Each structure stands twice: as C-alpha cells, then as structure tokens.
Amino acid sequence: MRVLLSPDSKLFYGLAIFSSAFLLFQVQPILGKMILPWFGGAAGVWIVCLLFFQAVLLLGYLYAHLLMRKFRAPTQGRIHAALLLASILVLPILPKHTWNSSASTDPAIHILWILAIIAGLPYFLLSSTSPLLQAWSAQKRADARLYRFYAVSNAGSMLALVSYPFLMEPWFSTSHQAIGWSFAYAAVALLLAVISLFSAAKIYEPAAIETAPAWKIKILWIGLAACGSALLLSITNHISRNIAAVPLLWIIPLALYLLTFILCFERSGWYHRNLFLRLLGASLGAMVYSLGGSFAVLPLTLSILLYCCGLFVCCMFCHGELARLKPHAAHLTSFYLMCSLGGAMGAFLVALVAPRTFSGEYELRIALGACAVLVLVVHHRDPNSQFYKARWQPAWLVMVALASPSSRAFA
C-alpha cells in the first residue's frame, strides 16, 4: 500500500498523465469558443487554434527531451517544479477585451498571439507531462509497456473533448469555464511539482544507452505523424466549410483522431495491418471521388459519416505504423519529439501554408495522396510485408500509379 501511494508509483504517474491530458484538451474548446466571436465565427479560427496547440505541444516535447538530455535527474525535477509553480501566477486564463483588435492585418497571427498570452505557459507545461514522466519511469524500470501511458494520456484527452459539449458547454459561461479550468490546473500543477521533486531525486543515471534509431526511421515517424495531423485539420476544415457549419462539430474528428492513438498504443492487437490496408484503399477511394462534382449532393449525414470514417481508418494506419516503429524506452522522448514535430508540420501546412498558396481547398487532396504514398513507403521497407517481394513487379507499379488519388482529384 505504501508503494502504491508513493509519488513515483505507476498509480500517481497514471493519474498525473491522465489529469494533464484532460486539462490539455479541455482548454482547447474553452479557448476556441472564447475567441471565436472576435473573428466572425469563421471555420478557419479553429484551424489556427489547432495549429497553436500542435506547435506548443511540439515545444513541450522538445523541452522534455532537452531536459532529459542536458541535466542530471535532481536538476530536472527542480527546474520542472519551479516552472510549474511559476505558471500558476499567470492564471486565470481570461483574455482581455482590449486584445480584440479588428485592425489586425493578419488574423491568424493575432489569434496565435492571443492564445500564447492567455494559456501558453500552462499548456506548454501540461504538454510536457506525458513524455517527461514516462522518461523518468523508463530510467527506473525500462519496459515496453511504458508506452501504454501514451494511451492513458490520449484517453484523458478524448474524455475531455467528448464531455465538454454535455457537461461544460451547456451549463457554464465561457468565463466560468476558464476560471474553473484555472483552479483545476493549479491543483494539478502542485501535484506535478511534488512528483517532479520526489521522482527525479530517486532516479539513478543509466549505465548504458541503447543504439539510437536510424535517421530514416525518424523521418518516417515525422511523415506518419504529419499525415495524420494534416488529415485531421483538412477534413475538419472541409466538413466545416462545405458540409455543415455546426458549432462544436469539429470535436468529432479530433476525438476520432485521439481514439486511434489510444487503440494503437494501448496494445498491438487493435491494429491489424492487412485489415486496415483493405479498409484504407476503400476509404481513400471513397473520399477522393466524393470530392468530385458528381458527389456534391450527398446527404448531410452520409457526407459527415464518410469523412469521419475515412479519417479514422487513415489515422489508424498512420498511428498503427507509428506504434509498430516505436523505439526502446531509452529513446522515448526522441520518439515523441519526432511525432510532435510531424504533427506541428501537418498543422502548419494546412492552417497557414495552404490558404496562402492555393486558390482552392487542395490540402485535403494532397493529404490523401500523401497517405497513399506512405502506404507504399511502409511496405517498401518492411520485409514482413506481403508486398515487399513484389515491389518491382508490374503489379507493384500499377499500385504506385493508383496510389496518387490527389492527381485525379485535382483534375
């Protein structure tokens, strides 16, 4: 019993990771709904918000990675605890109405600035919780099951999202939601500070480090994560602009995105490569052809179902392959950093680059094409793949040609 109640026990780690992830994703709809009226309620506001959350998540993972690599264990705990205590001073997360400047020439930059001022530091520290605690745990008891904490983290995130429309949004004003979140964050920050000081002080420096994964594997981590993120944002954008501009409808794609992380990292049995390869072919084809003019009259419910199911299948492939490629626990923070970098890159391309580059909504077509190309890359390098031996045969070349749905969708 004494071990279970120790601040460095798996129970406390799991509670801290779950609580941090819950607050991390509970604040997203709160902030989104808070600033949405300031910018005319456009669908693009939420896309920029997602970019901010992905970018700060990347910074949090980078911070966790550098903290583990550059400082000794006791110093890591003291630095993190000090930042957590300092972050309480920026509460509550309430924006000032004077920040609502309609004269801003670039609304996207203005949105990013507002979000950074309101909740940048708390969100940054919450995002570092999962990789940091998992890395500390790995130094005490290296175990492949540590990656199940990632499933715990995403479970907390998804619970926060799906509970918001039913338990928070109908009953409390946005200001009360923000104040309630701030109190909850202060409590979790104090818990994390205690865990940081207690846990890091008991860590012994590892005697040997496992061989680092090759750079080709790291690039594949980035590519898979970027594809999943780009699909999330582009499909959310497509649904909001072309199918139904329903408030909080964007929660459904994000919840499905998180669900795929939970299933793929909780245990390997949820992702069956051969099954999802077949489902992926059907999903990519259906989404590509639905972008054509002849499919523009699909019923509302059927259109939403098509794209949500397609997003789920594509992300199961991306995140299932990520889970298959996860490294030894000694390189856990590097793995999460690369995944977060990919997620931020995908969000950046969809939220900022695409609107300024393309005359139409081509980002979804490109993301679908990238997903098909990643299928080829994954099977090209895996000797266990049923397509590996036939990769230079005519059938493989035909598959390469068919794996460019974006080219047909542009036509």
Backbone angles phi, psi at 21, to 5 degrees: -65, -35
276 vs 278: CA distance, rounded Å: 5
Q: Both 229 and 195 in a single domain?
A: no
CB neighbour list of residue 355: distance below 8 Å, 6 or more residues apart: 44
Is the residue at 3 inside a domain?
A: no
| Structural domains of the chain, count | 2
pLDDT confidence tier of residue 96, bands split at 50, 70 and 90: confident
Helices 215-238 and 43-70 pack at an angle, to 10 degrees, of 160
pLDDT number for residue 408: 45
User: Between residues 322 and 39, which one has the greater pLDDT?
Assistant: 322
Q: Both 83 and 188 in a single domain?
A: yes
Is the residue at 118 inside a domain?
A: yes
Cβ proximity of 136 and 205 under 8 Å: no
What pLDDT digit, counting tens, does each position of 332-351 carry? Answer: 888 989 999 998 899 888 88
340 vs 343: CA distance, rounded Å: 5
Q: Which of 177, 200, 223 is the last residue of a domain?
A: 200
Q: Which of 141, 167, 200 is the last residue of a domain?
A: 200
User: Between residues 376 and 312, which one has the greater pLDDT?
Assistant: 312
Which pair of structure tokens corresponds to residue 41?
A: 């309620």
How many CA within 13 A on the CB side of residue 190? 6
pLDDT number for residue 4: 45
Asked if omega into 29 is within 30° of 0 (cis), the reply is no
Cβ proximity of 253 and 236 under 8 Å: yes
Q: Both 152 and 220 in a single domain?
A: no
pLDDT confidence tier of residue 186, bands split at 50, 70 and 90: very high
pLDDT confidence tier of residue 31, bands split at 50, 70 and 90: confident
What pLDDT digit, counting tens, does each position of 300-338 carry? Answer: 778 888 999 999 999 999 999 999 998 887 788 889 899
Which pair of structure tokens corresponds to residue 406?
A: 């974006």
DSSP one-letter string for 169-219: TTTS-HHHHHHHHHHHHHHHHHHHHHHHHHHHTTPPPPS--PPPPPHHHHH
Is the residue at 282 inside a domain?
A: yes
Q: Does position 36 have pLDDT exceeding 60, yes or no?
A: yes
pLDDT number for residue 11: 76
Which pair of structure tokens corresponds to residue 222?
A: 């980035």
Section 126-139 average pLDDT: 85
Q: Does position 109 have pLDDT exceeding 60, yes or no?
A: yes
Section 131-139 average pLDDT: 82
Q: Both 185 and 219 in a single domain?
A: no
Q: What percent of the chain has pLDDT over 90?
A: 26
Q: Both 295 and 267 in a single domain?
A: yes
Compute the mean pLDDT over every residue in the chain, rounded to the nearest whole number. 81
Q: Both 171 and 221 in a single domain?
A: no
CB neighbour list of residue 280: distance below 8 Å, 6 or more residues apart: 313, 314, 317, 371, 375
Q: How distant, in Å, are the alpha carbons of 16, 75, 195, 289 from that of 202?
A: 18, 12, 11, 57
pLDDT confidence tier of residue 203, bands split at 50, 70 and 90: low
Is the residue at 342 inside a domain?
A: no
Is the residue at 380 inside a domain?
A: yes
Q: Both 398 and 364 in a single domain?
A: yes
Q: Both 170 and 38 in a single domain?
A: yes
pLDDT number for residue 229: 93
pLDDT number for residue 308: 92
User: Between residues 199 and 392, which one has the greater pLDDT?
Assistant: 199
Is the residue at 123 inside a domain?
A: yes
Cβ proximity of 315 and 256 under 8 Å: yes
Q: Both 49 and 123 in a single domain?
A: yes
Model's pTM, two decimal places?
Answer: 0.80
Q: How distant, in Å, are the alpha carbons of 183, 278, 279, 284, 310 from that of 289?
A: 48, 17, 16, 9, 12
pLDDT number for residue 100: 66
pLDDT number for residue 295: 58
CATH of the domain at 23: 1.20.1250
Measure CA of the first residue to CA of the last residue in the chain; give whole Å: 65
pLDDT number for residue 2: 45
Q: Does position 37 have pLDDT exceeding 90, yes or no?
A: no
What pLDDT digit, counting tens, does each position of 231-281 carry? Answer: 998 998 888 776 655 656 777 888 899 899 989 888 777 888 888 988 998
pLDDT number for residue 5: 47
82 vs 197: CA distance, rounded Å: 10
pLDDT number for residue 377: 86
Is the residue at 336 inside a domain?
A: no
Q: Both 95 and 223 in a single domain?
A: no
Other Cβ atoms within 10 Å of 103 Cβ, number: 5
Q: Both 59 and 143 in a single domain?
A: yes
107 vs 86: CA distance, rounded Å: 30
pLDDT number for residue 197: 85
Section 291-302 average pLDDT: 68
230 vs 368: CA distance, rounded Å: 9
Is the residue at 347 inside a domain?
A: no
Q: Does position 119 have pLDDT exceeding 70, yes or no?
A: yes
Cβ proximity of 122 and 93 under 8 Å: yes
Section 372-399 average pLDDT: 70
Shortest CA distance to 154 belongs to which of 137, 129, 178? 129
354 vs 361: CA distance, rounded Å: 8
Extract long-range pairs of 238-244: CB within 8 Å, 24+ residues apart.
238/307, 238/361, 238/364, 239/303, 239/304, 239/307, 240/43, 240/46, 241/43, 241/361, 242/361, 243/300, 243/303, 243/304, 243/307, 244/300, 244/304
Q: Which of 200, 228, 260 is the last residue of a domain?
A: 200
CA angle 365, 370, 376 (to 5 degrees): 135
Q: Both 177 and 290 in a single domain?
A: no
Residue showing tokens 């026990």: 9
104: containing domain: 10-200
Q: What percent of the chain has pLDDT over 70?
A: 80
User: Between residues 396 and 238, which one has the greater pLDDT?
Assistant: 238
